[in-house]
């Protein structure tokens, strides 16, 4: 099963990520708060971007070979690779979906993040709901206008 979500952002509004926001669950709570501060309607899905240094993140990539049998979730679990990264910098693109979990996000979260490393060797993947941010990161929201 594949899907595509896309958007066009002509200008980003940057906000600092407070030091209290360090784990995935903190981000999930902070994203709609920060979006409200940036003037976004948080009743609809939207994209956001994060630039930050991380102490750790757990990642996954999907090989695309799932066959949806015996069900989509089991097929997804078989077709993914897991790993972790320590002490790196990332540029992440996320989607926030307030109304429905499991469409743009996984079944237990309102946010989903894809990342690329920005220091050292290039690496891209999905953040697997585990991250430990270092202080000093920024979150960005599209302000097309």
CB neighbours of residue 19 within 10 Å = 11
For 28-83, write each residue's pLDDT tens digit. Answer: 999 999 999 999 999 988 999 999 999 999 987 776 655 555 565 555 555 566 78
Residue 47 lies in a domain: yes
- 4 pLDDT more than 70: no
Please give the Cα distance from 94 to 97 (Å, whole number). Answer: 10
Find the domain containing 34 and state its range. Answer: 14-64+83-142
Domain presence at residue 69: no
Count the domains in the chain.
1
Q: Quickly list H helices, the chain.
A: 24-37, 72-78
* CATH classification of the domain holding 48: 3.30.1330.80
- As a whole number of angstroms, the distance between CA 85 and CA 18 comes to 22
Tell me whether residue 35 is in a domain. yes
């Amino acid at each position: 099963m594949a899907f595509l979500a896309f958007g066009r952002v002509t200008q980003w509004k940057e906000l600092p990520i407070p030091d209290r926001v360090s784990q995935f669950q903190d981000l999930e709570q902070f994203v709609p708060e920060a979006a409200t501060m940036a003037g976004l309607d948080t009743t609809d899905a939207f994209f956001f971007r994060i630039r930050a240094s991380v102490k750790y993140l757990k990642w996954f990539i999907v090989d695309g070979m799932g066959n949806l049998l015996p069900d989509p979730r089991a097929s997804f679990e078989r077709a993914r690779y897991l790993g972790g990264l320590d002490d790196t910098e990332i540029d992440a693109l996320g989607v926030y979906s307030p109304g429905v979990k499991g469409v743009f996000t996984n079944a237990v979260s309102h946010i989903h993040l894809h990342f690329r490393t920005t220091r050292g060797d290039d690496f891209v993947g999905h953040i697997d709901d585990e991250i430990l941010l270092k202080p000093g990161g920024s979150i960005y929201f599209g302000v097309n206008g």
